[in-house]
A and B are shown apart, each in its own frame.
Chain A
Amino acid sequence: MIVQLIIRRLAISLVILLAISVLVFGATLLLPGDPALAILGQQATPERIQALHEQMHLDDPAWSRYLSWLGGLFTGDLGTSVASGQPVAELVGERARASVVLMIAAALISVPAGIALGIWSALRRGRTVDSAITGISLVLAALPEFVIGIALVALFATTVFSILPAVTMAPPGTQPWDFPAQLILPIAVLVLVVTPYIARMMRATMLEVLDSGYVEMARLKGVPERRVILRHALPHAIGPVAQVVAIQLAWMAGGVVVVEYLFRYPGLGQALIDAVNYRDVQVVQAVTMIVAVIYIVVNLLADIVGILANPKLRTGGDR
């Protein structure tokens, strides 16, 4: 039963991913003009254009180019960057690692923090702590990430206190995480953007669960409050919250772009912005696909957590 559901979700994810690849590849067909001309410039000789056409297989029909591009994605051949002439995989690989470090660090802080704040808020319903948490999350949820980022830079890196670096500077040969102080502000921005949503959802779900019959029953039979929350209430609240956590983590794959640009962090997002500026389509395609894969995998994991956490499914009841 559970295995079937999970396999079904897996299949759906693969189909969606395939559809995205068609969309991402199809977008390049909208590109006006001859890509070879765009790369070589107006002064290119017809011979050179012809040579590049053959090299990039531009004269092949679109479906055959799509298939070879898709095949390349599976074998790690992401094409060649037209701006730098480097293979895209090489360009993107190291930066993807830098971005993932940022995202995992932010997730490790914001998920427990959001869940804890949500529970705390729910347990103090209507009191000062609750209104403060609710109010602050409402404000933070409204702000675009770069606004939060600039506020933090102004506060901690430049105007008010100059205690943290405002930009990432990793000399060649070093990794951004060799300088932990530089990671604080970028991670803080991601945490501040993601946590409010998790806290809000946790609060809402927890309030619902706390009002339920089985929690009342547990309290009435004298189970200690701590145990009521951790063993009776929390497991029921985890399913819906896992969904929101997934949406937020997946969102980070996009939000990290702005944060990396703001802090000049040498990650995937920064590479994406550079590529958009150079109209380096191969790189943009590759990054978009990587982000979509991250997004879908995270959502898939959340669905699996949801399926596993649902007691109805665990006992084989109907869906």
Chain B
Amino acid sequence: MTHATTPDSAVDPTTVDPSGAGPARSAPDRPARRSTLVTRTWAQRQAKVGVVLTALIVLIAVIGPLLLPWATGYTATGFADRPFQDTGLFGTDNLGRDVLSRFLAGGTSLLLYSVLATALGLFLGMLFGMVAAYIGGWLDALIMRSNDVLLAIPQLVFALLAITVLGPQPWVLVAVIAITHAPRIARVTRAATLDVIGEDYIRAAEMYAVPRRRILFREVLPNITGPLAVEAGLRLTYSIGAIASLSFLGLGMQPPAADWGLMINENRIALSLQPWGVMLPVLAIAVLTIGTNLIADSIARASASANVGEK
């Protein structure tokens, strides 16, 4: 889970538009450039496969809870005295609850918290990375050295430390996963920003005394979307893995919640007796992470080829 960036994202894919844009022209240019990264990504077969796989699981996670005619949380309609029956399409779980309905209800939490953790991590990392690169000096040194410290604790171990102290609440999971992502994203952002801030349009904006915040968000940010998009895809994959793993360890979502990671934990003792309680969520998590990783890899390739084309 706690992996460094892949070789692909280590390439430094500055998607700087050589036609250059002054402060006034940067906004109209943005949609055109973005769509080229998107089209280059979409042109790859693996991206299409990734989108289909991801969409399938997202659909289950989003629509699943609406399809529920069965109880998911409690044993009211189940067979608590007779667990692991093969009643229903996929049988019942360790407490006699219907596996299919728990599966349909169990994706929402994983998806929601992974997306939140990724978004928060991306925001923090982006902010610190841009500030470190743009302001430089001691602030840069402080931010990057703090990064080194955070990077020296494996993501999962860091999460476990936080959970010990603060308890397994959803916000703790989201915050801690975001904090472990942030240093990695900050590094990438900083490198990309350093490439951009030497450009003439940034100097021009500085000469016009455009406020720093405006330069960062209006001039720098649109020009580092390539590497950030690559990071977003990768970090989403790792967030899903991390949150599912924590739930699997019994330290994420707590019973009686219906959650894929927790389901695997609850039902794995009966893997040979009633495999569906484990296999359905395992398959869903596998398909989802493979899908998001394929998309991330496609974005990385598209972003790298943009670079080559420019040079």
Contact = CB atoms under 8 A, between A and B. Distances in A.
A36 interface: no
B149 interface: yes
B241 A144 contact: yes
A287 B145 CA distance: 23
Interface stretch (A94-102, A152-160, A221-229): A152-160
A291 B157 CA distance: 8
B248 A146 contact: yes
A19 B148 CA distance: 10
Interface stretch (A52-60, A73-81, A270-278, A303-311): A270-278
Interface residues of B, number: 51
Interface stretch (B56-64, B99-107, B196-204, B283-291): B283-291
Q: Which of A16, A204, A272, A276 has the largest number of chain B CB atoms within 10 A?
A: A276
A204 B7 contact: yes
Contact of A281 (B4, B149, B165, B251): B165
Contacts of B282: 147, 150-151
A205 B7 CA distance: 9
Contacts of B7: 200-201, 204-205, 244
Contacts of A212: none
A196 to B, nearest CB: 10
A150 B245 CA distance: 12
B293 A138 contact: yes
Contacts of B240: 144
A31 B251 CA distance: 17
A257 B246 CA distance: 11
A291 B264 contact: no
Interface residues of A, number: 61
A44 interface: no
Q: Which of A16, A147, A244, A254 has the largest number of chain B CB atoms within 10 A?
A: A147
Interface string A1-27: 000000000001000110110011001
B1 A257 contact: no
B6 A200 contact: yes
Nearest to A250: B154
A284 B271 CA distance: 30
Given A141-B293, A144-B289, A201-B7, A255 B1 contact: yes
B174 interface: no
B164 A275 contact: yes
Interface stretch (B83-91, B223-231, B272-280): B272-280
A166 to B, nearest CB: 8
Contacts of A17: 152
Contact of A30 (B165, B241, B272): B165
Interface in A58-114: none
Contacts of B130: none
Nearest to A12: B148
Contacts of A141: 3, 6, 293
Interface string B153-196: 11111101111111000000000000000000000000000000
B309 to A, nearest CB: 18
B2 interface: yes
Contacts of B285: 144, 147
A142 B158 CA distance: 21
A34 to B, nearest CB: 14
A305 B110 CA distance: 40
Given A244-B4, A251-B1, 15 more contacts: A12-B148, A27-B161, A27-B162, A141-B6, A142-B237, A154-B275, A200-B7, A204-B7, A254-B1, A258-B248, A273-B249, A273-B250, A276-B251, A280-B164, A296-B152
25 contacts: A27-B164, A138-B297, A139-B290, A142-B289, A142-B293, A143-B241, A144-B240, A144-B244, A145-B245, A154-B279, A158-B272, A159-B272, A162-B272, A197-B6, A201-B7, A255-B2, A255-B154, A255-B156, A258-B248, A261-B248, A261-B249, A279-B164, A284-B161, A288-B153, A295-B153
